[in-house]
Chains A and B, each alone.
Chain A
Amino acid sequence: MSSSRIPNADGAHKQPQSLQPAGNGWLVDLLVIAILTVCTAGLLWVEILPQYVVWIIGVPFVVFYPGYAMIAALLPEKAPKLQSGEVEPSRPPTRLSRVALAIVISPALLGVLAIVLSPWNAIELQPLLMGITAITLAGLVIAAVRRLFLPPHIREGITLAEVKSWMQLSVPMSSRQNISLGLAVLLLIGVSTGAVMIPGDGEAYTEAYLLSETDGEYLTANLPTNVTVGETEEFHVGVENHENEQVTYELVTVFQQLDDEDEISAQEVQDSVSVTLADEEQAFEEQSFIVPDTAGEYRLQVFIFENELPDEPTADDADHVLQLEVTVASDED
């Protein structure tokens, strides 16, 4: 197709390898995929496997097997084994190309399967497992029949020699380079396994929020911002621990009088509570305050301290602060 200046001509053009019959190997890949598909479907059906096992066996089940079955049915001829310099676009696709096509076709097949199940509201685990298995097995049966009707020497199949050749990934250089490569691969496997098995703690933080309670339902609404002198008002503080460890929270509710420049002129502790929460635990703590006798603008603050309560709690020392500006009206109002 091209002259020697053309890029594909940088290696020696060799004659295509002789096509050797795969012997009984022409069924091997189909049987392996069939067995893996059925076993995976069975294991997923019982829903007792640990998550990481589901991940490992589930990925090829939804990404590869259905597509492989279809591509095997579509391409029953033997995949050529090209030398690195050979360019043979007219020959059937290589095995790597078939794997690539299988991976891309799988989502289309499973999408169609889900469309078929949709009218019966059957996009659920068991129908999906049966459907994926049926699609895959059907493709494999068609592939087997199509291969059977081909002459043995052009029939797709996998020989033991081929499997061995796939494993030859080493650098064709010195043994020192091969050893370093092996160690690096082992290091990557070790680090990756460690990262998966020992997940990081994640972000450490605490949430706190003001709530009102009505009939057992908590909402961030109807908070006591307009109150009358002398009354006792209640509200709730929600606290959630995401610190990756147990934390004792000290909640202190203070009522503050403000001067003309919005600076605190007086402060009175109205309520306090201590609550210990395990990681990912939540608590709703009721707090109350007695409205002062003098009408005016006040500030209610809830200081939240983690693990240690100072002698004189202030907003600056607190780990978290919630606040409401409170308007106090006199009785006559």
Chain B
Amino acid sequence: MSYQGSITNLLRKDNADIILARIGLVACVLLLGLRLLAEQVLLVVIPLAGGGACALYLVTRRKEAQRHEFVALRTTLLGYLPTAVFLTLAALVLSIHLSGGRTIISHVLTGLIGVFLLAQVLLTEDKKLNPRLVIAQLLIASIVIRFGALFGTPGFTGVDIWTHVPDYIVSIVDMGSVTGIAGDKYVMAPIYHLYGAVAAIIFDSPRAGMFLSLGTILALSILLVYSTARLLLSARWAILAAILFAFSSEVLQWSIHLIPTSMGLVFFLGLLFALTKLYYTPELRWFGLVFLFSLAVVFTHQVSTAVILLALGLAAGIAVAVMLRTDEALVRGRRRIAAGLSATFGLTTGITLVSWANTPFSGEFIFLWRMLDVLERQILGEVGFLNLASANGGGGGAGGAPSEGQTGFLGELVPFIEWFGFGLLLAITIVGAMVLLHYFDMPELKLTYLALFGAMFVVVYGLSLFGLRTFMPGRWLAFMHAPMAIIGAVGLAYVAKNAPRQILLIVVIILCLGYPLTMMTAEKATLDAPAFEDEYPRFSHTESEIKAVETLSTYRPPETEPVIGTDHPYRTLYERYGGYTIPDMEVEDGQSVNTPTTVAREYQLQGPATVHQHGDPVVPRQSNAYLTDSLCADVPHHIYTSDTVTICTTAEGGAEI
């Protein structure tokens, strides 16, 4: 190989990784200064994680010459960890069954299962580690945790799924044809809905069909992360990658909020495996699988398509660049990789553009032109440095409530608990990135992984830093966690082998306890029953809340155009499941001023749902902090009541109900 160019030459030097780590350390310290300009927890978490990772790498690298065998604990207690996993799983099932859904107890139990799994991988000596047993535990845990959340919740968890399943999939089943979603953007990306329809027919229930088909696939898809990591790492570290991915809050989110993003994520994992495999064996079948998964994504979900186009584009570009700098003796295999990936990228891009140019959007637009228009408007009008309204946009309609909940020390601490797990993952990913860069020989592979992680990180956090959220960065997080888990496992494997024993023990203990417990109690992992219930609203609904929508739509159907108001996210149920058009309800003196009919629910006084305070400007408020009594308390006509929901109206004769 002959590399040219100053940057490349710099990176080829034996100490290039050390230089990078030192630069990273300084850059992270400087980045901490941004915290003075904006109140955003990530401006603390990212520099701390990055700086910690660079410091850890430098220490480990310095002690490398004195490296020792993997530090394993020689205690018989470790042999009981599989027992602990199954006992905790049993307790989790019991807890969900007795409580009728997930609670803070089940979130902690879920986190503990992750602790026990990580401890097996990180603390058991080689001869006593049975990889198949750990994988079996991980798969069973993944299924139990996800099915517990899915079947333990009435209806569905999340917002968008209430459109995808009860509306789109049911329409396809009713008509026996994709014309059931004609006019929607998914008519050109129907695989999720068609698969959901197939499962709905087989299982005679759209809900059970979705859970048992796509829910099962999401639960088992962690095998692909293991398989991909196994191409680079020994079984122990490949399992670690799978555990990191399975216990990611973002991945759990899309495993319980089963929408096209979820299916896009699964296809992306398939693509990542095939892409990694073809670097080693550039056979036609692996290119074919990469193309098949790319097509599957294009015809499933538009945001996921952007993710895979980025991945393919980077892979093709890097393959071409590497080929151009490679010695003649090696060029043949690399030419094949470069040509295959370029062709796959070109074909996928072409098909995507043709598909998007024929995709309807909101009834009157074409998807491609509409997205370009939105992008142009965002760049010209809204983009600005530290425009940080949300670095988490496009989270499946599951954004948090305005922050008026827990105050004091705990309130300050919650965002850091939320992001602690991500910080750990980021830290070991950065260590892994430097290990890949310095030690791994295959340039196409390591540069593709690093570029993919870097580019996704820029889309999620970099562009968000400037307020550019056209690409819905919240949807990219789970995708990003796949390469992060694999690179992170590479990093931790290096640290485990080379770091001083005391530092390694600290890293292992923090990761074992901190990662699963914080990830499994984070907002995104607990949409159905937030662990921090004063901070984040519940994105699931009780049986009586769902039944209220059904009853109202039966006796006052949407065709009669009633003007209804209620909190967010409950209003989304009336829109998506009930079919009503609902404005933002504005509240003054404890009563809606712009909707003749109001839906009050107990949760408005208990949890942080969002209502809007009337005024100029209208201010979003947390309902439990803003309301002191039921929204219906002073409304004259109470025409519906259940134990948790009251519907009232000011209009005479219930004409506006």
- B 542-567 to A, binary, CB cutoff 8 A, 1 in contact else 0: 11100110011001100010000000
Contact B132 A169 (CB under 8 A): yes
Known: A2-B439, A202-B100, A320-B641. Contact between A219 and B555, CB under 8 A?
Answer: yes
Complex: A84 Cα to B239 Cα, angstroms: 11
Contact B127 A172 (CB under 8 A): yes
Partner among B79, B276, B280, B288 whose Cβ is within 8 Å of the Cβ of A171: B79
Question: B227: which A residues are within 8 A, CB to CB?
Answer: 93-94, 96-97, 100-101
Contact B439 A6 (CB under 8 A): yes
Check: A8 CB closer than 8 A to any chain B CB.
yes
Contact B296 A108 (CB under 8 A): yes
- B 623-650 to A, binary, CB cutoff 8 A, 1 in contact else 0: 0000000000000111111111001000
Complex: A205 Cα to B543 Cα, angstroms: 9
Question: B201: which A residues are within 8 A, CB to CB?
Answer: 123-125, 128
Known: A55-B203, A119-B177, A169-B132. Contact between A192 and B144, CB under 8 A?
Answer: yes
B494 CB, min distance to chain A CBs, angstroms: 5
Binds A, one of B208-216, B406-414, B454-462, B585-593: B208-216
Check: B133 CB closer than 8 A to any chain A CB.
yes
Complex: A75 Cα to B280 Cα, angstroms: 16
Question: B4: which A residues are within 8 A, CB to CB?
Answer: none
Check: A293 CB closer than 8 A to any chain B CB.
no
B585 CB, min distance to chain A CBs, angstroms: 19
Contact B176 A125 (CB under 8 A): no
Question: B96: which A residues are within 8 A, CB to CB?
Answer: 195
Interface size class of A (residues with CB under 8 A): 35 or more
Write the chain A residue with the least CB distance to B266.
A104
Partner among B202, B212, B216 whose Cβ is within 8 Å of the Cβ of A128: B202
Contact A62 B202 (CB under 8 A): yes
Binds A, one of B38-46, B190-198, B531-539, B614-622: B190-198
Q: Which of A3, A114, A132, A172 has the most CB of B within 10 A?
A: A114
Contact B89 A85 (CB under 8 A): no
Complex: A30 Cα to B190 Cα, angstroms: 30
Contact B637 A323 (CB under 8 A): yes
Check: B320 CB closer than 8 A to any chain A CB.
no
Question: A11: which B residues are within 8 A, CB to CB?
Answer: 126, 234, 236
Partner among A59, A104, A222 whose Cβ is within 8 Å of the Cβ of B654: A222
Check: A103 CB closer than 8 A to any chain B CB.
yes
Contact A103 B178 (CB under 8 A): no
Question: A117: which B residues are within 8 A, CB to CB?
Answer: 176
Contact A191 B93 (CB under 8 A): yes
Write the chain A residue with the least CB distance to B268.
A104
Binds A, one of B80-88, B415-423, B467-475: B80-88
Complex: A62 Cα to B200 Cα, angstroms: 11
A186 CB, min distance to chain B CBs, angstroms: 9
Contact B435 A7 (CB under 8 A): yes
Contact A174 B76 (CB under 8 A): yes
Check: A118 CB closer than 8 A to any chain B CB.
yes
Complex: A226 Cα to B233 Cα, angstroms: 78
A residues 194-232 touching B (CB-CB < 8 Å) = 194-195, 200, 202-211, 218-226
Write the chain B residue with the least CB distance to A299.
B636
Binds A, one of B218-226, B243-251, B342-350, B352-360: B218-226
Partner among A121, A200, A203, A325 whose Cβ is within 8 Å of the Cβ of B97: A200
Contact A208 B641 (CB under 8 A): yes
Complex: A223 Cα to B85 Cα, angstroms: 59
Contact B654 A7 (CB under 8 A): no
Question: B216: which A residues are within 8 A, CB to CB?
Answer: 59, 63, 103
Known: A173-B79, A219-B555. Contact between A111 and B217, CB under 8 A?
Answer: no
Contact A59 B497 (CB under 8 A): no
Contact B277 A107 (CB under 8 A): no
Check: B156 CB closer than 8 A to any chain A CB.
no
Check: B230 CB closer than 8 A to any chain A CB.
yes
Contact B226 A220 (CB under 8 A): no
Contact A118 B212 (CB under 8 A): no
- Other contacts beyond A107-B213, A177-B80: 16, CB < 8 A: A5-B498, A8-B237, A104-B270, A107-B214, A107-B296, A111-B299, A114-B195, A118-B176, A124-B176, A181-B83, A192-B144, A210-B654, A220-B639, A221-B560, A222-B654, A226-B652
**Can you give 30 contacting A-B residue pairs, CB < 8 Å?**
A2-B439, A6-B439, A6-B494, A7-B493, A11-B234, A11-B236, A54-B202, A62-B198, A85-B234, A87-B234, A93-B227, A96-B227, A104-B221, A104-B266, A104-B293, A111-B296, A118-B179, A123-B177, A123-B198, A170-B133, A180-B83, A184-B82, A207-B641, A209-B639, A219-B555, A220-B555, A220-B657, A240-B547, A321-B638, A322-B640
B-to-A contact residues, CB < 8 Å: 64, 67, 70, 76, 79-80, 82-87, 89-90, 93-94, 96-98, 100, 126-133, 135-136, 140, 144, 154, 172-173, 175-179, 190-192, 194-195, 197-199, 201-204, 208, 212-214, 216-217, 220-221, 223-224, 226-227, 230-237, 263, 266-267, 269-270, 273, 276-277, 280-281, 285, 288-289, 292-293, 296, 299-300, 435, 439-442, 489-490, 493-494, 496-498, 542-544, 547-548, 551-552, 555-556, 560, 636-644, 647, 652-655, 657
